[in-house]
Each structure stands twice: as C-alpha cells, then as structure tokens.
Amino acid sequence: MTDELTFGWVSPVIGLPDSDHEPIVMYQERNILPTAFEHFDCVWLADHFYGFANENDPFLESWTTMTWLAAKFPTVMLCHHVLGQGYRNPALTAKMAATLQTLSGGRFILGIGAGWRGEEFERYGYDFPSTATRIRQLEETIKICRLMWTEESPSFEGRHYTIRDAKAPPRPDPMIPIMVGAQGEQLSLPMVGRLADGWNTFWWPREEWEENWTRKRDIVRKAAEEAGRDPADITISVTREAGLPNDSAEAEQWRETLEHLRALGVRHFTCDFGHPTSTEPVLRFVEEVLKPMKAG
C-alpha cells in the first residue's frame, strides 16, 4: 500500500429511522458523496446482512453495493469494512476481488476479517467455528487469494480449504492490497504482520492508546520483522465513529485527535460520520482537517 496520508469515508448500508428507512448510502450517493469524493480517497462499506438495534431495518449486501459505487464514482478507492471471510468461499472471494479490480481500473482493496457475529453466520446457514479456527481459515483465505491472483493454475491444500487448478483469469493488475481487520494479540495480529498489506482497527478512548493500542501495533510490527518484512510496508488504518464538525472548534478537536494517531503510526483514517444531510460540515472537515493534515 502507500505511506501517504489518506482518508476513507464509511457509507452506511443500513436504513435507520432518521433516514426514513432508506439505506443511507443511497441518500449519500445522491446528495453527499459527489462532494465528499472530490477529497476523500476511499469508500468503505460494512459486510453484514441485517441491522442491529432493529433487525428489520433495510440493510444492503456489501459487495453488490460496492460494485454499484465503483461505477458511480470512478476515482475513489474501494474497501469493505470488513468482509467476513466465512460468508464466501475463499476461491469465490478471490475471483470476485479480481473481477472488481479489473472493472474498477485497479481501485479495489480487499478488506477482510475472521468474522465475529455468530448469530448472523448461523441464521444464514454458515458454520461458525471457534475464534482460533476462524483466524486460521482467514490465513488460508489470504494465501488462496494471493495464489489465484498470481499463478495460472494455482492449487492449495490446507487444513480448512482446498483449491485445485483454480484458474481465475484475468488476474488482477495492479495487485490487490489486503487490509485485515483484527484485534487479537495471540493469533490475528501476528498474522497481519506476516501476510497483510494493511491493518484496520477501531479508535479507542485516548487514555487507552498509549498502553493497549500501541502494544497491538508493536505485535504487528514485530511479526513483520520476524517474517523478514519491513513493518513500514503495512498501512495502519483506524476507524473513528464521530459526527462531522459543526464549527471550527470541533474541527480542531478532530484534527488534534487524528494528529495524535498519526504520531503513533496511523496512515489511513477511516471516518464514519453517520448520516450527514448537508455538505457544509463535509467541506468544513475537508478545509480544516483533511487538507491541512495532508499538507503537513
């Protein structure tokens, strides 16, 4: 990935009561994203099948929605927040990713994780094994993707997944970066260090960053070094859920928070602003937070 400072926009695929139960991403596609994507680098979409507080709120499937956005906005990068690896066969994931990379002109990032919402797996008929097993499945999924993206006739036999002569033309060009969403210190973070191009995690309260988050960051870096990789090649992304600034004082608070994360090694800020209904605070964020940080 890149060491350049970049900003991502999370567009909610859910339709909440304050959106009149229209999936928010549909409202944003018409009213917000044309302005936002003149400045933001990447769009992120959640990968779930139904809502949380009210399971009957509208909730769009993420890959279909991502393909729709890729066609609507031909310059922004594309990443899921994050795909549950168990929702799709690994070879199918690799094929879908290669296809979207081709159709989007090389703008896709495979954002993927081990999956965590057990009831969702079970309701849709997917197995939901232990956390350790899901992480090992994720590792095999990453290996299968890389094989299918780089070899003409890839085969792989793992503990959980197998492919045989799994041709998947056209192979992606440029190569698809893999961004892993992970928190676990025993298995998942060392795997990020060994295999991933990027690591995405959620923003924590500031008082926890110096001890807890930096410990996790250092696990990733150490695993990368032990695997013979340069830790600087792993892009660190943090997701922050907070409203857009309503005035310059709030914009300064945003910038102060992000500058602190930047000093700790974060290079991509994934911003979940919820459901803004005006571009005014979007442009305030751009002018008073995003542009000054990129310039600095």
Does a structural domain hold residue 1? no
- Structural domain count of the chain: 1
Nearest to 40 by CA among 94, 76, 71: 76
| 17-69 pLDDT tens trace | 999 999 999 999 999 999 999 999 999 999 999 999 999 999 999 999 999 99
Report phi then psi at 77, rounded to 5. Answer: -70, 160
Classify residue 234: in a domain, yes or no.
yes
Quote the domain boundaries for residue 103.
6-295
Nearest to 287 by CA among 254, 262, 261: 254
> What secondary structure does DSSP assign to 196-263, as a single string?
-SEEEEE---HHHIIIIIHHHHHHHHHHHHHTT--GGGSEEEEEEE-PPPSSHHHHHHHHHHHHHHHH
Residues counted in the chain: 296
Q: Kindly state the average pLDDT of the residues 269-281.
A: 98
Reported pTM: 0.96
Is 72 a domain residue?
yes
80, part of any domain:
yes
Question: Containing H/E element for 272?
Answer: strand 268-272
Which tens digit of pLDDT belongs to each residue from 199-237?
Answer: 999 887 767 667 788 999 999 999 999 999 999 999 999
Residue 171 sits in a domain whose CATH number is: 3.20.20.30
- Residue 83, classed as helix, strand or coil, is strand
- Helices (runs of H) and strands (runs of E) counted in the chain: 12, 11
Domain presence at residue 60: yes
Residue 17 amino acid letter: P
Looking at residues 240-253, what average pLDDT do you find?
Answer: 97
